[in-house]
Structure 1
Amino acid sequence: MTTVLKIGGARAVDPAGALADVAALVSQGEDVVVVHGGSTAVDDTLEELGEEPTYVETPDGVVGRFTDERTMDVFEMVLPGKLNTDLTEALQNQGVNAVGLSGVDGQVLSGRRKSAVRVVEDGKKKIKRGDHSGKITDVNADLLETLLDGEYTPVVTVPMLGEEKSGGYTAVNADADRAAAAVAGALDATLVVLTDVPGVLEDPEDESTLIETADDPVGLELIEDAAEGFMTKKIMAAKEALSGGAEEVVVADANADEPVLSAVDGGGTHIAASALPDEEKEEAEA
């Protein structure tokens, strides 16, 4: 079984426990691919440089980053530069032969660049140009499987390789949760998304309201209704992973004891492929 592990970049997330679990799984002969983001570190770096990060709201009500050219420069410096190197180094110190990759390397993550996005500002729908982002449509699964077969552990991060309408390619930003979803789907893997809460909660203020499983469309609808804020994107990514071929998605607490091992063993919120509505399964197969 292959496990794709998404490590979140929130300040409250400590990756140490997750990396120790990766080492334990690899020592047992399991294949693991680590995918990470780092939006918090990017924001911190922008602020240190005297610049403000820009977030926009889409007509669907989803809040996301607007990545202008300067922000893209910082992304390339922070994610594949410092954060990816730090995680790869930490895994090496755990005895894991890790290989750091950005989505640009070997076209691990690729798709069309979006240079303009639809946003809502002051209650009005507008087109905001100058964006450096894209939607991942292709994963170089052959490269990842070659590394796994060679007993290497890939550590993957954005940027992705964006195809320009005029031809050619450029590095662009992509959502890390959706990047992990794309990788999990391409590898028919189990996706474990670690974050700073125990899973999906019916009441975000009450951890006792954890939704433990969703194995049919009714359960998935309950999870979608309960998801708020940052969790909305994670559930969107979970659905993309399952429709892409992932076996299961688990949303769990990064700061729990043995966070990955406990998640695989039943902790957190488990969403099965059977939770997808029939029409979404048909769309995925088409």
Structure 2
Amino acid sequence: VAGLTLLAVGVYSAKNATAVAGRYIEARLGKPSLVRETSRITVLEALKHPIKVGKRLTSKAQDALEGVVLSPQLEARVRDIAIATRNTKKNKSLYRNILMYGPPGTGKTLFAKKLAVHSGMDYAIMTGGDVAPMGREGVTAMHKLFDWANTSRRGLLLFVDEADAFLRKRATEKISEDLRATLNAFLHRTGQHSNKFMLVLASNQPEQFDWAINDRIDEMVNFDLPQLEERERLVRMYFDRHVLKPATEGKQRLKLAQFDYGKKCSEIARLTEGMSGREISQLAVAWQVS
């Protein structure tokens, strides 16, 4: 009898250890279904492209605001965040969570990516709108996401775009039981600060957040539409990138007509009042083919 009992305990322990090992391997190898984009290198990617991966790992840190056009006040604010985040990573301390709010296309995603690279971290991007369609699978997907985040050796910046799509008020909003359960799973996994991942939420309507989400945010940053000065800088940057550079490089160089470059950019900047940086970028792409 004692032998059978020991055998049963041994089988149970082996199965339990195998399950734990399986979850760890899955967290290490597979990108979670909720993640749309990530800079994190998988084992399979490293084996398939060792030289490319080696260059990425040894690349120098970039300026967190390179290619990001913001107002002077906002630029100073986010530069302080970049310095603090990099020091947190260096000292292996607990990361602070950030909410970036404002109209679409104002640079929230771009800054989040550059913040991660500048700090020597990986980034992962998910969209709040992807959660509700998962139904009852949402809870499992959310736990897999944070299991994966906690295995990061470099530290992970988890960027949740359109976060208000699933982090809504539980008491007043009409949400399904599946979405409510997924929200509870998210709250459970973010109840304490972590030295493995940093949470960055992006929202156009932060007032819709559940009160428990606000309790997890350490800093709120408003990304507003660009004013005239920022729009002129954006127009110049995108004109250089999409018109001047392609016209003066390559095998078939084009001759640009003589015109007052500064004056033309100023005129366009005035005409783009109310447009976001993304919309100005799309406008510049249209110039390239016109």
TM-score (norm 1): 0.28
Greater share of residues in strand: 1
Greater share of residues in helix: 2
Find the structure with the greater CA-based Rg. Answer: 2
TM-score (norm 2): 0.28
